């Protein structure tokens, strides 16, 4: 049937529930683990949050997004760097940039570029195949200042000694979290990027003009939108559901019930989806129209998967 590729967050390791963290690949039929990347074996520093006043500094490595590349390697995003891992789970390359801060996603495009959603700075940056900057975009320069939250205080952030209430860096108010090309591939200065921001909504950015050309903001917090024909499929995280919208209005709810801060929905086929139920530490296979998931895959207490990709076929 296929496979699931998902990040396993550092909170799992810090809080002692598992003896590793990184990324995992699971067979959908059997639930068997087929591949893993273990950040602890690769000697990455364990992720930490260090608070100074109202600023939180991120250190170490915390996996947030994954992508299986055409050559079989896996691209993993962390707070301050990207990591490319081979089929044996060994690190081939690492890269960083001064805008990579609380990075939620790094995505390699068909042109071999790397599109980075830098959540901690509400910015996008496009890197070339040598990880050199080609283009950057700051959200606060292109939206009405009145839409910017006065502050952003997440409910809880995991720290080495348990859960603590912390304020994020004030630059992180919109919480721009995911971005993908829907037109173009980053090879030139033209293209359209579909983005989401937790405290704003979903929107399109025109690379050439750097302007937001369309937006849908009537959402209760959101992550990782996907454009499919005439609709956008959006995890509405604050409402614990996945919805379909167009650029004018809400079309309906695809999945809801029993989820906690859903962050991702990845299509498997015409009516089945892979849904990432982040705070329940699981990934779901769910058929549209059904009240409950077909299957669930529990990744471990505090695994906090930010997303999951469906990979068709056998490994």
CA distance linking residue 2 with residue 238, whole number of Å? 30
Residue 174 near residue 63, CB atoms below 8 Å: no
Contacts of 24 by beta carbon, 8 Å cutoff, 6+ apart = 5, 6, 8, 33, 35, 36, 37, 299
pLDDT of residue 145: 85
pLDDT of residue 189: 83
Residue 289 near residue 272, CB atoms below 8 Å: no
pLDDT of residue 158: 47
pLDDT of residue 58: 66
CA distance linking residue 61 with residue 46, whole number of Å? 6
pLDDT of residue 151: 73
pLDDT of residue 160: 45
Q: What are the pLDDT tens digits along the chain (315 aa)?
A: 799 999 998 666 666 666 788 999 999 999 999 999 999 888 887 776 666 666 666 677 889 999 999 999 999 999 889 999 999 999 999 999 999 988 999 999 999 999 999 998 899 999 999 999 999 999 999 999 888 887 766 655 544 445 455 556 666 789 999 999 999 999 988 899 999 999 999 999 999 999 999 999 999 999 999 999 889 999 999 999 999 999 999 999 999 999 999 999 999 998 999 999 999 999 999 999 999 999 999 998 888 899 999 999 887
pLDDT of residue 108: 97
Rg value, the chain, Cα: 18
Q: What is the rounded (10 degree) CA torsion for 102, 109, 238, 256?
A: -140
Q: What values do phi and psi take at 170, rounded to 5?
A: -60, -20
Among candidates 244, 245, 275, which has minimal Cα distance to 262? 275
Structural domains in the chain plus CATH codes: 2-312 (2.130.10.10)
């Amino acid at each position: 049937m296929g496979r699931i590729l998902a990040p396993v967050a550092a909170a799992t390791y810090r809080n002692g529930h598992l003896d590793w963290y990184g990324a995992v690949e699971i067979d959908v039929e059997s639930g068997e683990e087929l591949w893993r990347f273990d950040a602890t074996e690769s000697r990455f520093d364990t992720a930490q949050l260090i608070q100074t006043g109202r600023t939180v500094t991120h250190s170490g490595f915390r996996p947030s997004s994954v992508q299986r590349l055409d050559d079989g390697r896996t691209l993993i995003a962390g707070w301050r760097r990207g990591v490319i891992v081979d089929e044996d789970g060994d690190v081939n390359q690492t890269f960083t940039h001064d805008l990579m801060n609380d990075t939620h996603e790094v995505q390699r495009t068909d042109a071999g570029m790397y599109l980075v959603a830098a959540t901690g700075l509400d910015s996008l940056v496009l890197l070339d195949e040598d990880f050199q900057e080609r283009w950057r975009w700051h959200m606060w320069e292109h939206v009405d200042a009145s839409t910017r939250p006065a502050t952003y205080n997440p409910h809880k952030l995991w720290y080495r000694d348990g859960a603590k209430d912390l304020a994020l860096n004030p630059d992180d108010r919109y919480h721009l979290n995911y971005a993908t090309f829907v037109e173009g591939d980053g090879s030139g200065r033209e293209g359209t990027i579909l983005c989401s921001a937790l405290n704003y909504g979903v929107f399109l950015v025109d690379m050439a003009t750097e302007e937001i050309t369309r937006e849908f903001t009537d959402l209760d917090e959101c992550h990782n939108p996907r454009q499919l024909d005439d609709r956008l499929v959006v995890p509405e995280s604050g409402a614990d559901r996945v919805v379909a919208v167009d650029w004018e209005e809400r079309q309906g709810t695809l999945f809801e019930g029993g989820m906690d801060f859903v962050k991702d929905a990845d299509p498997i086929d015409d009516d089945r989806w892979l849904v990432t139920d982040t705070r329940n530490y699981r990934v779901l296979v769910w058929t549209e129209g059904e009240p409950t998931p077909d299957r669930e895959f529990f990744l471990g207490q505090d695994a906090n998967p930010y997303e999951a990709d469906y990979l068709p076929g056998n490994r």
